[in-house]
Every structure is written in C-alpha cells, then in structure tokens.
Amino acid sequence: MRSVTKRPGDSAAARAPAGTIGAHLARCGVPRRDFLVFCAKLMVAAPFGLALTDRARAADVAREVAKARRLPVIWLHFQDCTGCTETLLRTSSPDLAELILHLISLDYHETLMAAAGKSAEAALHTSMRENAGNYVLVVEGSIPRKDDGIYMKLAGKPAVAVLEEVAAQAAAVIGIGSCAAWGGIPSADPDPTGAVGVDAIVKGKPIVNIPGCPPNPYTLLGTVLQYARDGTLPELDDQRRPKFAYDRDIHEHCPRRAHCDAGRFARQFGDEGHRQGWCLYQLGCKGPDTHAGCSTRHFNEVVDAWPIGIGAPCIGCTEKKLAFRVPMFQVIPIHDVTPPDAYAPIHPPQDPLSIPAALVAGGVAGALLGAGYVASRKFSTVRNDDSVPGDRPSAEAGAGGNGSKEEGDERP
C-alpha cells in the first residue's frame, strides 16, 4: 500500500470525519494528487449542472467529495456485455481506477467480487440487511420480462424478481447503460426475451438513467457522489437522464462540425473525405439527434477516444429511438440543428445554402443535382473533377494543410 504524501493544511481527506470518503482515502493512503486529478476530471465531465462541481477549483471539489459519506453500492448484472463495468475500470491511469473503488463501497458486484455461489449471495443479503434504505442500487443490463422472466435466472430466481427484491430496500436506483435504461441491444428486434429497462419494473423509487453503450463513467460517479454528499440527485430530463451530461447533442460540440457546416462530408469509409476527418453525416452519423457529452468528454481519459474521434459515425447509443432501432449507417432526417437555420450574416450576400439544407442535401446527396451550384461543388468527391465548378474537395481540404498530394509534392 502506498504512503500518503501529506502537505500541512492541504489534506481535507485527513481531517474528514469517520465514515466519509475523506477518512477512507486517508486510511488507505491514497495520494492526494490522485484524488485531485479525479476531481479535476469530474469538473470536466460535469462543467455545470452538478452541485458537486459547482466550484472554482479541483481542491474545492475535493473538499466537498471528502465530506461525503462512502455510499454502499450494490451492482446487479442482467442482460449485458459488461461494457458498463469495463468503462468504469478502464481508466488510462491504474491509480484512477483504484481510486474509483475507494470512493464508493462496492458491496456486491458479480464480475468484480472474489466470492461466488452461496458466499456471493450471502454478501448481497448481508449488504441489503445492514444498509437497508441507504444503499444505491446500480443496474447494468436489461431485464427479460417475457414468459415470466424465464430467460435469465440468478440463484434460481428470475432476474425480474431479483431486481424487485433488491430495489425494494434501495434508497435510489441507477440504470447504467442503454440496456438498463430502456432495453438496449437485447431489446433490438426481434427482442426474444422481452428486454426492458429498470424503470419498467421498479416503481416508487428515485431512478436515474445513464444511457450509453457504454456510458461515460464520470456521469455515474458524479451522480453517486452528489447523492452521497447531500442526498440529492442531479436534475433529470424527461427520460430520467442527468441534464448535466445529456443536455446537449453531439453535433453541437462535434470537432467535425465546421466540415458539416461547410458541406464537406465523408461519403465512404476510407475515401478522401473520411481520411481528412470530414463530417460523417452521410455515413449515418446520428450526432444531430443524440444527446450525450461524448464530443467533449472522451473515454478512458484518452484524447479522441470516442466514436467520431476514431472515424466512426455516432449510432445514437444514448437515444432509445435511435440505437439498435435505426440501422447504423442509415442517414437520419434532421429535425433540428443549432444554430437553428443559418449563421447571422457577416458579409452579405451569403452562401445561399443554409445549414439544415446542407445536411439534408448531404443525405440525399449527390443525387439531388437540382441543389445546384453549391451542392454540386460541396458534394463532389472526385478529385480534380473538372465538371464541378468552384473548390474541389482536395482543394478545400488543402486550405488546412491536408495530406492530398499534387504533382511535384514531395510530402510523404
């Protein structure tokens, strides 16, 4: 076990009362630096809308978190791939993964606990008894409801009965991942098990949904830590998602947005537009209709570790109406984009193609020749296409110093 590096007067953790996160961190010798790094990341994940991070500095957030009690958490797995657990533990820094397990008291978690069989069941019931009315139940995976729930059993009981039993004593229930939020992958057509989310089964309890396949772990931690500190949950939207993490859509902060607005679309995987990092809308990107923070809060603390960051279109994994219902590469109609219609004029006359028009025209794309001059200029992907007036894709990208090679170009 590592020793604590103490600096006089800077350790809120060391001064924290027994039973709090601070006291636990001090007892376990968790370095303050790791704790501060975590708090800084929490601030990035929840820049506003979460009472905990409504502070100016990571040290202030650390002080608040240290005061919180270490919440007992029971984590149940149903029909899932364990990706939600993986995302919680696959931080880029092992110290951070270890720290996360110090912040909560994870009393029962099938895939992480050493116990199995009867001793695992005993651990579950001991925690339920000792923490009745005080623990948070985290559910990962969907619940099979068809045919009296016979498609999944734990300790001889249908999953739906286990959920009802454990939720009955919980203070609050969190559905982590899209499977637990509404059914996710297991609920995709033909849905043989009748997969549903937590809120279709559990009634009369505060329920928070944190969809995503997988979701961002900091959304879970921020929610749990706020609840641990003062017993409140963050403000939720109409699908019970914390607004601090789901209030904006991917498209609003997408790094490819400038390409979208300029009408530069990748049209095939591996084509020039794709290699140049252009907008993925024509490849089926659901970002304009998907509420999630992925475009600014990447996974595993690795820059660009998120679908669009690695060149894959967003499949809308946080949206019940999109994920595993609308085919991945199917282009969606655009209902709304921000800014709503067009940028304010700066030097009129402007380019006549409005932003929604650019997107919609991109969708039906090249086929809509009637879109005229602008559309034909923007949607041609044939290099040096002389039939296309104006800038060519390679020329447009070249303005930013792209990799296209012209004759005489010695670049590798």
Out of ligand SF4, ligand FSX, ligand F3S, none, what residue 306 binds, judged by CB under 5 to 8 A for its kind, is ligand F3S
C-alpha torsion 114→120→126→129, nearest 10: 130
Contact 299, 216 (CB under 8 A): yes
Out of ligand SF4, ligand F3S, ligand FSX, none, what residue 260 binds, judged by CB under 5 to 8 A for its kind, is ligand SF4
Site string for ligand FSX, 104-143 (x = CB under 6 A): ------------------------------------xx--
Name which position in 85, 105, 318, 381 contacts ligand F3S (CB under 6 A).
318
Instruction: Pick the closer one to ligand F3S by CB: 205 or 253.
Output: 253
Quick one: how many helices (H) and strands (E) in the chain?
A: 17, 9
Name which position in 72, 175, 184, 212 contacts ligand F3S (CB under 6 A).
212
Instruction: Pick the closer one to ligand SF4 by CB: 41 or 297.
Output: 297
Out of ligand F3S, ligand SF4, ligand FSX, none, what residue 315 binds, judged by CB under 5 to 8 A for its kind, is ligand F3S
Name which position in 35, 78, 306, 324 contacts ligand F3S (CB under 6 A).
306
**How far is the C-alpha of 97 from the C-alpha of 389, rounded, in Å?**
54
Out of ligand F3S, ligand FSX, ligand SF4, none, what residue 185 binds, judged by CB under 5 to 8 A for its kind, is ligand FSX
Candidates 132, 135, 146; CA nearest to 109 is 135
**How far is the C-alpha of 275 from the C-alpha of 144, rounded, in Å?**
42
Binding of ligand FSX by 319 (CB under 6 A): no
Name which position in 64, 80, 199, 261 contacts ligand FSX (CB under 6 A).
80
Instruction: Pick the closer one to ligand F3S by CB: 335 or 411.
Output: 335
Binding of ligand F3S by 228 (CB under 6 A): no
Instruction: Pick the closer one to ligand FSX by CB: 292 or 360.
Output: 292
Name which position in 138, 174, 317, 371 contacts ligand F3S (CB under 6 A).
317
Contact 210, 83 (CB under 8 A): no
Residues that bind ligand SF4 (CB under 6 A): 250-251, 254, 256-257, 260, 279-281, 285, 287-288, 308, 314
**How far is the C-alpha of 227 from the C-alpha of 75, rounded, in Å?**
16
Contacts of 360 (CB under 8 A, 6+ apart): 333, 334
Contacts of 319 (CB under 8 A, 6+ apart): 211, 286, 289, 290, 291
**How far is the C-alpha of 192 from the C-alpha of 207, rounded, in Å?**
26
**How far is the C-alpha of 401 from the C-alpha of 227, rounded, in Å?**
48
- Number of chain residues interacting with ligand F3S (CB under 6 A): 12
Binding of ligand F3S by 294 (CB under 6 A): yes
Name the H helices within 155-216.
Answer: 159-168, 177-182
C-alpha torsion 63→64→66→72, nearest 10: -170
Cα Rg of the chain (Å, integer): 25
Q: Residue numbers of the site for ligand FSX (CB under 6 A)?
A: 80-84, 140-141, 177-180, 184-185, 213-214
